[in-house]
Amino acid sequence: MIIGKLPHKSDLLRELNRFAKEHEVVAGFVQLIGSISRARLSYYDQKTHAYQVLEFEHPYEIISGTGNISIRDGAPFAHLHLVLSDKDGKVIGGHCLDGCTIFAAEFIIWPFNGPAPRRTLDPATGLLLWEKDSYREESR
Ligand code: ZN
């Protein structure tokens, strides 16, 4: 298990990907909490197979950030979803994109010891999904 914090004013997703690459985490589970000063999320339209980008230029608490790390385009890639709350406690959420600016963020990564899942295009959904149906962790 790896725990840490991400730098103030850095980009949440880029920083998580940079951390995974630097620490050679090629597969794992990610959980994070904290706050961001702006949010950039997306919603995937299942009919058109297109992402709808949602941008919010004000602060949010990160109620829950949950995701995974696997290999996309030959490098560690964090797939992260965020549940955020505003000053009135109203909640929004979505798929995390580059463009979420960290105010403060603490994370936990549980690395996976098995083969790193690789993302490839899934024709049925139009998404880059894991190429195999399942992966099993190797015992050490
Ligand atoms: Zn997603």
Q: pLDDT for 77-136, tens place per residue?
A: 999 999 999 999 999 999 999 999 999 999 999 999 988 999 999 999 999 999 998 898
Domain boundaries, the chain: 2-130
| Residue 137: per-residue pLDDT | 86
Q: HEC profile for 12-36?
A: HHHHHHHHHHHCCCCCEEEEEEEEE
Q: How far apart are the CA of 137 and the centre of ligand 1, in A? A: 23
Q: Tokens representing 4?
A: 């840490």
Cα 100 to middle of ligand 1, angstroms: 15
Q: Minimal CA–CA distance to 101: which of 33, 4, 35, 47? A: 35
Q: Amino acid identity of 107?
A: F
Query: For residue 140, how far is its CA from the centre of ligand 1 (angstroms)?
Result: 31
Give the Å distance between the CA of 139 and the centre of ligand 1. 29
State the architecture of 2-130 in CATH terms: 2-Layer Sandwich (3.30)
